[in-house]
């Protein structure tokens, strides 16, 4: 069993969990990460602004990145009118 931490980054904010999660291996950690992201992404996507980024990383026990899932809102070739 290995210890992992989750870190979420959005804009200038980035924070890693203080408590580690224990998974059998990297495949099990990836499965958990994708399930957590699936539960969060609807809300995150609805609130994402143009040219904003959101990501979740899975860190190993030394808090080094193992996996990252990212979502980016990009304004490409158009001008956005403020609401």
Q: What is the pLDDT of residues 57-67, one digit of tens each?
A: 999 999 999 99
- The answer to whether residues 31 and 77 touch, using CB atoms and an 8 Å cutoff, is no
Q: Which residues contact residue 12 at a Cβ distance below 8 angstroms, ignoring those fewer than 6 apart?
A: none
How does pLDDT run across 17-57, given as a tens digit for each residue?
889 999 999 999 999 999 999 998 888 888 888 888 999 99
């Amino acid at each position: 069993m290995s210890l992992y931490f989750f870190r979420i980054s959005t804009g200038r904010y980035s924070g890693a969990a203080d408590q580690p999660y224990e998974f059998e291996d990297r495949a099990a950690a990836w499965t958990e990460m994708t399930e957590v992201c699936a539960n969060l992404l609807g809300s995150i996507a609805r609130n994402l602004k143009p040219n904003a980024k959101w990501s979740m990383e899975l860190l190993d026990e030394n808090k080094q990145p193992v996996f990252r899932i990212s979502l980016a809102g990009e304004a490409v070739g158009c001008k956005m009118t403020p609401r």
